[in-house]
Amino acid sequence: MSASGRDLLLSNKGKMPTLSNAPPPGPRAVSAKKSSPCKGLAHVARLMKLGRCKNVVVVAGAGISTASGIPDFRTPGTGLYDNLQKYNLPYPEAIFNIDYFSDNPQPFFSLAKALFPGGHRPNYVHYFIRMLHHKGLLLRMYTQNIDGLEKLCGIPDDKLVEVHGSFASASCHLCYTPYPAEEAKHKIMSGKIPVCTFCTATVKPDVVFFGEDLPQKFFLHTEDFPKADLLIIMGTSLQIEPFASLVNTVRSTVPRLLLNRHAVGPFEKVRLKRGDHMELGDLEVTVRHFAEMLDWDDEVTELMRSHATTSSGSPITSYPLVSGETQFEGEVTAGTPDGMDSEEADSEVDSKSSASANMDH
């Protein structure tokens, strides 16, 4: 979960970044010295097949969900931050700024009905990451996303760090008193503002706004990144700190693979450091190619199919991401994200995957 006109700077207390007026750097053109197409993918796939990557950490952003119909935040023209004009915000990121929310929560709540999990389905990229778990290779996934699609595709909670929080719980933004998540959702979807029963301040879902502390689970990175033997970075602009700096905390000998539309962060350098690889372009196409190199494509496709069959009875109501002025149409009717995490439904696929992996979990 890279807006035009603003740069996001690191807070020194483990919080979401503060904002400045400096414009963010645009995506840098790919160097002519970049490795030939798919060479990096092939190299990493070979390492994985040889069993040299048993502790994979995935770092992901909004780009992994665009194939599910959810716009990212920063793509010029189509990104969320370029389509918030009707809210009359002082700057696009204000919609996720805790101070602005405290003064004027209505813009966020107008947008929140489209952000609540239930309106979209996971895509091939999500299921590829889950396949890493099936194979016993996923040490942890760190996601910026608040769309819930990682849980919806069945990535277990103990393998997932939702760095920017989620809609799974809600609390008062002022005194932090917990508030029933379903009740908060019902009110928001009905065009009402939930209010704290203790101090009467506004309640919001526990997604992390600019100016708020990151969840405690984020600090698992101090244990995970030193253990990693492969880092996969996908669908992120690497512009929000402290998330962006995580990619620099793996050991110097650990390969880092960027799968993205543009070169970002340390991959913008003219010459990549040894062990760094990137494949740029449409993320879903790239990940499918990666799966084919690993001989996983059939298993990922079967996992997607089995989930589609299992969830066929759960109606999905999809709202436009930037809809008209808060004319809510009622609550989304859909299964909870955890409802998709059924071991019974996936037992056949899991069994095939585990047998083919032949690696320690």
**Which pTM does this prediction carry?**
0.75
Q: Which comes out higher in pLDDT, residue 355 or 102?
A: 102
Q: Catalytic: which of 126, 134, 164, 262?
A: 164
pLDDT exceeds cutoff 80 at 359? no
pLDDT exceeds cutoff 60 at 357? no
Distance CA 267, CA 271 (A): 8
Q: Domains along the chain? A: 37-354 (3.40.50.1220)
pLDDT exceeds cutoff 80 at 49? yes
Q: To 5 degrees, how large is the angle CA 16–CA 20–CA 25? A: 95
pLDDT band at 315 (very low <50, low <70, confident <90, very high): very low
Q: Based on the number of CB atoms within 10 Å of its own CB, is 166 exposed (0-12), middle (13-18) or buried (19 or more)?
A: buried
pLDDT tens digits for 322-355?
333 332 222 222 333 333 343 334 444 343 333 3
307 tagged catalytic: no
pLDDT tens digits for 232-251?
999 999 998 999 999 999 99
